[in-house]
Amino acid sequence: MAVFWYLLRRMDDQPPMLPLLTIFLSGHDAPCPSCGYNLHGLLTSRCPECHQELHLTVGLVEPRMRLWLTAVVAMAFGAGFNFLLLVYIVLTANKASRLLDLFLIHNAVGLLVQGIGLVVLLRWGRHIRRSSVGVRFALCLLSALLTIVNVIILSNSTG
């Protein structure tokens, strides 16, 4: 038991993950995540090119990005669509009419709703990516439906 504690204390005293990093890099080509320099055969924990500190990590094969990213793209498409139409309306403001006012209101509301949705998806992205497939799929579907409804409402408001 004393030997175990001695070894555990010795492991704590060593620089974190340095032996495993150098062992891994002695047999593998790996680019520096910062500058792309090939770290094969590296003997320290710093990149010789950009001098950034390095460590060995365990990563996910598939980092659960697909559904979240699809939701972000759908929401950004809707918000961007509204934003561009608002810019267009402002640029052609001299041709203002009642129809254009309605179109302006629909665009402003659409931009507000989809903009808030986009901020929520980006702000709580890490939390969303850790949620279940069902929750992520529902958010993805909600984003796509919001954008489709937004476009349908806009196409109806132009007559």
CB 107 within 8 A of CB 86: yes
**Is position 18 an interface residue for Zn ion (rule: CB under 5 A)?**
no
Angstrom distance (rounded) from CA 16 to CA 115? 42
**Is position 42 an interface residue for Zn ion (rule: CB under 5 A)?**
no
**Is position 153 an interface residue for Zn ion (rule: CB under 5 A)?**
no
Instruction: Tell me which of 11, 20, 23, 35 binds Zn ion, using CB under 5 A.
Output: 35
CB 42 within 8 A of CB 22: yes
DSSP 73: H
CB 121 within 8 A of CB 68: yes
**Is position 37 an interface residue for Zn ion (rule: CB under 5 A)?**
yes
Angstrom distance (rounded) from CA 49 to CA 106? 53
Smallest gap, in angstroms, from Cβ of residue 43 to Zn ion?
Answer: 15
**Is position 32 an interface residue for Zn ion (rule: CB under 5 A)?**
yes
By beta-carbon proximity to Zn ion, the closer residue of 45 and 157 is 45
User: And the tokens for 147?
Assistant: 């954008």
Interface characters, 107-146, with Zn ion (x: CB under 5 A): ----------------------------------------
Binding part of the chain for Zn ion, among 37-45, 92-100, 105-113, 117-125 by CB under 5 A, reads 37-45
Q: Which of 93, 73, 85 is nearest to 140 (CA)?
A: 73
Interface characters, 48-67, with Zn ion (x: CB under 5 A): -xx-----------------
Q: Is the dihedral of CA 31, 32, 38, 40 positive or negative?
A: negative
Smallest gap, in angstroms, from Cβ of residue 51 to Zn ion?
Answer: 7
Q: Which of 55, 57, 114 is nearest to 84 (CA)?
A: 114
| Binding region for Zn ion (CB under 5 A) | 32, 34-35, 37, 47, 49-50
